[in-house]
Amino acid sequence: MTDRPPSPSTPTVASAIANTGPEDRVLATTTQLTDSIETALGCRLDETVLEDLLLELDRHDYVEWVTVSRGGDHVWDLSESADRIGDAIATVVIERIRSWLDIDE
């Protein structure tokens, strides 16, 4: 048997969300986020509803609106979003557990 090179890996869909800039910020347009969520979850999203949600998350500092693309899409900085949302969820869970256990601070 001759030596053969390994088979190429299974192609994957490239992520629509990219790390860019000097700080490796995670930037994505609303359209890219919609496509990425639809691909990951296998469901259809209303892009305008997602954009309204993102605007509300921006008001509460969970995401950061950066600019509007040439195509008219909002561009979002999601670099800190996972940590910010995770911290908010953890705070609510801790408060709920404290109330269940009747613990005062």
Q: For 65-92, write each residue's pLDDT tens digit.
A: 999 988 888 999 999 999 999 999 999 9
Taking residues 24-47, report their average pLDDT: 92
Q: What is the DSSP letter of 9?
A: P
Sign of the Cα pseudo-torsion (59, 65, 68, 74, in order): negative
What pLDDT is stored for residue 71 in this prediction?
87
Q: What is the pTM of this model?
A: 0.66
